[in-house]
Chains A and B, each alone.
Chain A
Amino acid sequence: MKNKFALLAVSAQKINRQHLQMILVIVSLAMLVLGTGAPTDGGGVGQ
């Protein structure tokens, strides 16, 4: 039982870490494309 809990904890930690890493990569890529790209639509005009 104790082993099962430990295994579950390790798995949860792994999933969280993988998800967190993926979110971090996607957020970074979003910043990269927003920072380097320069398309313009009607929304920001005149601000």
Chain B
Amino acid sequence: MILLLALAAGLLAGLAWARWRGQTYQAPELQYLWLVFVAFLPQFVVIYLPITRGTFPEWLVVGCLLASQILLLGFAWLNRRIPGMSILICGVVLNLAVMAANSGFMPISPQTASRLVSEERLLDIQTGSRIGAKDILLHPEQTRLEWLADRFLPPVWSPYQVAFSLGDVLIAFGAFWLLAKPESSIQLKKRGIPL
């Protein structure tokens, strides 16, 4: 949700910027779009699709999740010359590193999770169990690369509570930049950057 908001904000900023300059908005010229669909499919089936999620063994979920993220990283790398993509790539690498180091899921501490769910519900979830779509409940001392885990939270007064990682911040910022200030291939060629 928070990442989609970053995309929407980037698009709005891009449209406003183009309008202010009296130009037509140009979406970033991404290459190998088919790769995103192929890469996202396994993750969509095991994580997001309500009728299929929860029906696969954990090793398969982990395999699909990591394979999907590696393929998405490949897509981002193939489009690395587009402004904003390098920031997004850094975020993907950080998330991938912490997830690969912690059984394939994003670690979240009980203390952080307590801001998202009630204490009673949290007591039902054992340490090492999955929580949310991609997270795993782990104490900070059990977590590898803890500084890259889902450890950031919005202020307490915020009506929308979400835990996010440093990688998520970079992904959101990169996605915002991609849509807010895209450069066409002509502009990139002018700057001497081949696509």
Contact-size category for A: 20 to 34
Interface residues on B, range: 35 or more
Partner of B27, one of A22, A32, A41, A42: A22
B178 interface residue per 8 A CB criterion: yes
Whether A39 pairs with B116 at a CB distance below 8 angstroms is no
- DSSP class of B's interface residues: helix, strand, loop or mixed? helix
- Determine if B62 is an interface residue (Cβ-Cβ < 8 Å): no
Whole-angstrom CA separation of A42 from B7 in the bound complex: 21
State the majority secondary structure of interface residues on A.
helix
A32 to chain B, nearest CB (A): 6
**A33–B28 touching, CB < 8 Å:** no
Residue picked from A25, A31, A45, most chain B C-beta under 10 Å: A45
Contact, CB under 8 Å: A28 / B135: no
